[in-house]
């Protein structure tokens, strides 16, 4: 069996006295799509942010393709280039146009040539359907378009996996679809993905595995049909009922 | 009959205009216009000051300003980054520096650099008045600019550095390519204000002892006043200062208006959505 793309062992995270993650053990295999659901404050986003060490884990081990990112000698910057990260608030660079948003890290981190970086930028921009916006500045784009550019920016690094932190939560309802469409495209291309989301329909449709988190632990995990339609725990049942009533 | 609200407002406005008219009439009737013209707007003396007031005095003022700003800005850059450093001693040093030089008159600092250092250690800043003045004024300006810079860096949303780091950029690269360019945009207006203050503070450099060729505007005007026994040189100096500072302050106002509009446009979606619901509810 090949090494998992992401492997988390006994992950604990405290914010001050508050224990946000209470011992997470978790794996994502190559090509797998994992959706993480759960009430707000359950630690989903913290888990995702620990994987790229945007948050410092208090204890535990996180292996990225077998390499320990929590190790003191780990080259975190190099490991991060393998992990595409998409944020709820898009976080595009407002002082750079779309093309430069997509090329700056390619050039400055991966040291790709200008021609290569721009060719890749054009290619990923086409994948998210925004080739015509290449010269625009982020402030001139809709929220949905900004998030698609953010996805393209992450893809331009040619990452081995993509992490999504509630990618549609900041969007107006009519703009959610276009972002989910782009993400479906990635699933079809076989990208390894971990998605923190409230879009249950999307999770059911694309996930290989759904993880339900509550109060800092993984309460339930399994195929979407099992976790979403026939949950074993009361908490998961209650959460899913509340979400469906919305 | 009681006055309506509208009538009362009208009466109040007329009264205010009346006061202005009274003052204007008094000023016109009783002021010694001839003396004012002779002592403050003497064209003969004005012409005498040309061209040196521009070619020497204003030029020197601009050169000293540029020198002090350049030195001060570079120093401020280091101080701001130290102030934000995670290493305690750096932070403490920067804080102490900023508090010290903001709390002490600029004149003291200039005297310290010009005379204190040579007396105590035999250290003389090279470059004559330009060198000494740039360092003296720059040390003070750096304290103010460091705070402006720090505020600018902190005003850039945390998500920007998170996005940059997630793309594999080191802390330094994220600062250089993502944070600082945005911080500079934010601080251009306050920084221009500091440039104006600095320009006016070059008038303090007279204490270093200037020669006819190194005089800045204020010293030039003062000497000319002593020579001509007339206040016109002060008027001229003031006009020349305004010719430099007014365009700068206008520029700041325009930039601030533009930045305001830009930031409104960039309001993040959640707040905008919230506002929409509020409007819908109203």
Q: Which two tokens stand for residue A80?
A: 């991060």
Contacts of A197 (CB under 8 A, 6+ apart): A35, A36, A37, A164, A166, A167, A168, A203
Confidence of residue B269 (pLDDT cuts 50, 70, 90): very low
Instruction: State mean pLDDT over B59-63.
Output: 92
User: What does the pLDDT read at residue B277?
Assistant: 40
The CA distance from A226 to the nearest CA of chain B, in Å, is 33
pLDDT in tens, A210-246: 999 999 999 999 999 999 999 999 999 999 998 887 6
Interchain CB distance below 8 Å, A92 and B163: yes
Measured between CB atoms, which of A54, A104, A170 is closest to B162? A54
B260 touches chain A (CB under 8 A): no
**How many angstroms separate the Cα of A164 from the Cα of each of A85, A87, B98, B141, B174?**
6, 6, 42, 45, 21
Q: Which two tokens stand for residue B266?
A: 């960039």
Interchain CB distance below 8 Å, B178 and A80: no
The DSSP code for A213 is E
Interchain CB distance below 8 Å, B182 and A95: yes
Contacts of B251 (CB under 8 A, 6+ apart): B192
Of residues A85 and B266, which shows the higher confidence score?
A85
Q: Torsion-angle region of residue B92: left (phi > 0), alpha (psi -120 to 50) or beta? A: alpha
pLDDT in tens, A26-56: 899 999 999 999 998 899 999 999 999 999 9
Provide the 10 A C-beta neighbour count for residue B224.
Answer: 22
pTM of the model: 0.81
Interchain CB distance below 8 Å, B168 and A153: no
Q: Cα angle at B271 between B268 and B273, to 5 degrees? A: 105
Give the nearest chain A residue to B267 (CA atoms): A139
| Helix, strand counts (H, E) of chain B | 15, 0
Q: Which two tokens stand for residue A55?
A: 């948050």
Sheet holding A18-28, edge to edge: A18-28, A6-15, A59-64, A67-68
What residues of B are in contact with residue A52 (Cβ under 8 Å)? 166
B169 touches chain A (CB under 8 A): yes
> Which string of DSSP letters, residue by residue, matches A36-105?
EE--TTSSHHHHHHHHTTSS--SEEEEEETTEETTSTT--HHHHHTTEEEE-TT----TTS-HHHHHHHH
Instruction: State mean pLDDT over B153-163.
Output: 95
User: What does the pLDDT read at residue A1?
Assistant: 55
SS3 B172: helix
Interchain CB distance below 8 Å, A170 and B270: yes
Interchain CB distance below 8 Å, A139 and B265: yes
pLDDT in tens, A63-117: 999 999 988 888 999 999 999 999 999 999 999 999 999 999 999 999 999 999 9
Q: Which two tokens stand for residue A2?
A: 């090949």
User: What does the pLDDT read at residue B271?
Assistant: 40
Instruction: State mean pLDDT over B62-76.
Output: 95
User: What does the pLDDT read at residue B260?
Assistant: 61
Average pLDDT score over chain A: 93
Give the nearest chain B residue to A157 (CA atoms): B167
| Stretch (H or E) spanning B21 | helix B5-30
Query: Is the pLDDT assigned to residue B273 strictly greater than 50?
Result: no
In angstroms, the CA B153 to CA B184 distance is 8
Average pLDDT score over chain B: 87
In angstroms, the CA B224 to CA B228 distance is 6
Interchain CB distance below 8 Å, A77 and B170: yes
Interchain CB distance below 8 Å, B266 and A139: yes
Interchain CB distance below 8 Å, B162 and A80: no
In angstroms, the CA B71 to CA A57 distance is 42
User: What does the pLDDT read at residue B259?
Assistant: 66
The interface predicted TM-score (ipTM) is 0.93
What residues of A are in contact with residue B260 (Cβ under 8 Å)? none
C-alpha atoms less than 13 angstroms from C-alpha of A87 in its C-beta half-sphere = 19
Nearest partner of A37 among A226, A214, A189, judged by Cα: A214
Percent of chain A with pLDDT over 70: 99
Give the nearest chain A residue to B182 (CA atoms): A95
As a whole number of Å, the CA-based R_g of chain A is: 18
Cβ-contact A195, A167 below 8 angstroms: yes
A111 touches chain B (CB under 8 A): no
Q: Which spans in chain A are helix H?
A: 44-51, 76-80, 98-108, 114-127, 143-155, 173-188, 200-206, 224, 234-245
User: What does the pLDDT read at residue B1?
Assistant: 59
The CA distance from A30 to the nearest CA of chain B, in Å, is 20
């Amino acid at each position: 069996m090949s090494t998992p793309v992401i492997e988390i062992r006994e992950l604990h995270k405290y914010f001050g006295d508050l224990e946000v993650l209470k011992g997470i053990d978790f794996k994502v295999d190559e090509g797998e799509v994992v959706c993480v659901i759960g009430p707000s404050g359950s630690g989903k986003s913290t888990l995702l942010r620990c994987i790229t060490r945007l948050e410092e884990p208090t204890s535990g081990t996180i292996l990225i393709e077998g390499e320990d990112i929590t190790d003191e000698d780990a080259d975190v910057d190099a490991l991060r280039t393998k992990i595409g990260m998409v944020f709820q608030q898009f976080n595009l660079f407002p002082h750079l146009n779309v093309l430069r948003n997509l090329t700056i890290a390619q050039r400055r981190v991966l040291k790709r040539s200008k021609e290569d970086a721009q060719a890749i930028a054009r290619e990923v921009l086409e994948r998210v359907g925004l080739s015509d916006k290449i010269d625009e500045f982020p402030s001139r784009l809709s929220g949905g378009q900004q998030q698609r550019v953010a996805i393209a920016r992450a893809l331009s690094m040619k990452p081995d996996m993509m992490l999504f932190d509630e990618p549609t939560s900041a969007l107006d309802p009519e703009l959610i679809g276009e972002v989910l469409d782009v993400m479906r495209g990635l699933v079809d291309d076989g990208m390894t993905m971990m998605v923190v989301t409230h879009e249950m329909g999307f999770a059911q449709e694309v996930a290989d595995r759904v993880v339900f988190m509550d109060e800092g632990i993984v309460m339930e995990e399994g195929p979407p049909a099992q976790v979403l339609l026939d949950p074993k725990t009361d908490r998961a049942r209650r959460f899913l009922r509340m979400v469906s009533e919305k | 009959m009681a006055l309506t609200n509208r009538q009362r407002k009208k009466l109040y406005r007329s009264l205010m205009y009346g006061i202005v008219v009274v003052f204007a009439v008094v000023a016109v009737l009783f002021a010694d216009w001839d003396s004012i013209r002779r002592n403050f707007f003497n064209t003969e003396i004005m012409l005498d000051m040309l061209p040196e007031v521009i070619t020497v005095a204003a030029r020197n003022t601009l050169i000293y300003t540029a020198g002090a700003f350049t030195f001060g800005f570079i120093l401020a850059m280091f101080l701001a980054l130290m102030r934000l450093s995670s290493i305690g001693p750096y932070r403490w040093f920067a804080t102490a520096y900023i508090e010290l030089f903001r709390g002490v008159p600029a004149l003291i600092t200039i005297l310290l650099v010009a005379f204190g250092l040579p007396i105590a250690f035999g250290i003389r800043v090279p470059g004559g008045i330009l060198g000494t003045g740039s360092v003296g004024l720059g040390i003070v300006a750096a304290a103010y600019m460091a705070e402006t810079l720090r505020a600018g860096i902190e005003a850039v949303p945390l998500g920007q550095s998170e996005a940059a780091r997630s793309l594999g950029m080191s802390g330094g690269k994220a600062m250089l390519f993502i944070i600082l360019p945005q911080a500079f945009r934010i601080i251009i207006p306050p920084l221009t204000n500091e440039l104006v203050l600095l320009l006016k503070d070059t008038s303090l450099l007279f204490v270093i002892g200037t020669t006819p060729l190194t005089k800045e505007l204020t010293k030039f005007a003062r000497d000319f006043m002593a020579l001509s026994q007339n206040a016109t040189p002060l008027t001229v100096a003031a006009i020349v200062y305004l010719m430099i500072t007014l365009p700068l302050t206008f520029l700041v106002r325009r930039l601030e208006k533009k930045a305001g509009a830009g930031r409104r446009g960039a309001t993040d979606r959640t707040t905008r959505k919230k506002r929409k619901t509020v409007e819908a509810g109203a």
